[in-house]
């Protein structure tokens, strides 16, 4: 009798624990898809990075650099979550990058600024790949967007720094 009672309790416990887990799996997958961030202007504004603007002297230095101005406009669109320039044809983007590097003013052709141009090239191409492939998660797309914004900001910083250094080199010591 004791064995029968133990078997009955064991069957009862197994019956209760063996439920249908499909409902909980379904809610887990729904939660995972809902947690993926959407690319919006508000999300892009929330990025934490130092956004350097050009000084008035630097604005004058890049006044004739048309591709810089165009990239600046496209970066401002990117901050508003307009991705049309960056998810277009890769060949057009490569042509833009080549013209960007070729049109760089001679006064700004220093190693730090040239290297920032190379970083911008890399981040633009990576962003293009992230946006054109369908199997890339939005989180990785957002990281690529942030990398482009940081690279452009660092280019601005280097241009400002170079022109400031040139100004200080012109100042002669009184001693």
Q: What is the structure's pLDDT at 16?
A: 75
CA-based Rg of the chain, rounded to a whole angstrom?
Answer: 28
Does residue 8 sit within a domain? Answer: no
Q: How confident is the model at residue 77 (pLDDT cuts 50, 70, 90)?
A: very high
The C-alpha atoms of residue 85 and residue 76 are separated, in whole angstroms, by 11
Q: What is the structure's pLDDT at 170?
A: 75
Q: What is the DSSP string of 56-121?
A: HHHHHHTTT-HHHHHHHHHHHHHHTT--TTTTS-HHHHHHHHHHHHHT--GGG-SHHHHHHHHHHH
Total count of domains within the chain: 1
Does residue 101 sit within a domain? Answer: yes
Does residue 13 sit within a domain? Answer: no
Does residue 62 sit within a domain? Answer: yes
Asked if residue 81 lies in contact with residue 40, where contact means CB atoms within 8 angstroms, the answer is: yes
Q: Which residue has the higher pLDDT, 35 or 45?
A: 45
Range of the domain at 79: 38-170
Q: How confident is the model at residue 11 (pLDDT cuts 50, 70, 90)?
A: low
Q: What is the DSSP string of 53-71?
A: ---HHHHHHTTT-HHHHHH
Q: How confident is the model at residue 100 (pLDDT cuts 50, 70, 90)?
A: very high
What's the CATH code of the domain at 103? Answer: 1.20.120
What are the distances in angstroms from CA 117 to CA 37, 92, 125?
29, 17, 12
Does residue 44 sit within a domain? Answer: yes
pLDDT digits (tens, 9 = 90+) for 103-157: 999 999 999 999 999 999 999 999 999 999 888 899 999 999 999 999 999 999 9
Percentage above 70 pLDDT, the chain = 81
Q: What is the structure's pLDDT at 150?
A: 96
**pTM for the whole structure:** 0.75
The C-alpha atoms of residue 171 and residue 107 are separated, in whole angstroms, by 18
The C-alpha atoms of residue 127 and residue 141 are separated, in whole angstroms, by 7
């Amino acid at each position: 009798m004791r064995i029968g009672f133990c078997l009955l309790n064991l069957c009862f416990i197994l019956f209760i624990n063996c439920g249908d887990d499909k409902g909980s799996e379904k809610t887990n997958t729904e939660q995972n898809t809902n947690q993926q961030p959407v690319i919006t202007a508000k999300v892009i504004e929330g990025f934490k990075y130092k956004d350097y603007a050009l000084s008035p002297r630097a604005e004058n230095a890049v006044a004739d650099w048309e591709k810089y101005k165009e990239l600046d406009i496209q970066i401002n669109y990117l901050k508003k979550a307009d991705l049309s320039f960056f998810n277009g044809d890769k060949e057009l983007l490569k042509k833009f990058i080549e013209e960007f590097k070729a049109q760089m003013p001679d006064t700004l052709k220093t190693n730090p600024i040239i290297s920032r141009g190379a970083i911008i090239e890399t981040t633009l191409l990576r962003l293009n790949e992230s946006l054109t492939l369908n199997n890339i998660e939005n989180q990785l797309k957002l990281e690529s967007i942030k990398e482009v914004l940081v690279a452009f900001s660092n280019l601005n910083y280097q241009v400002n720094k170079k022109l400031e250094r040139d100004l200080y080199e012109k100042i002669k010591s009184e001693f």
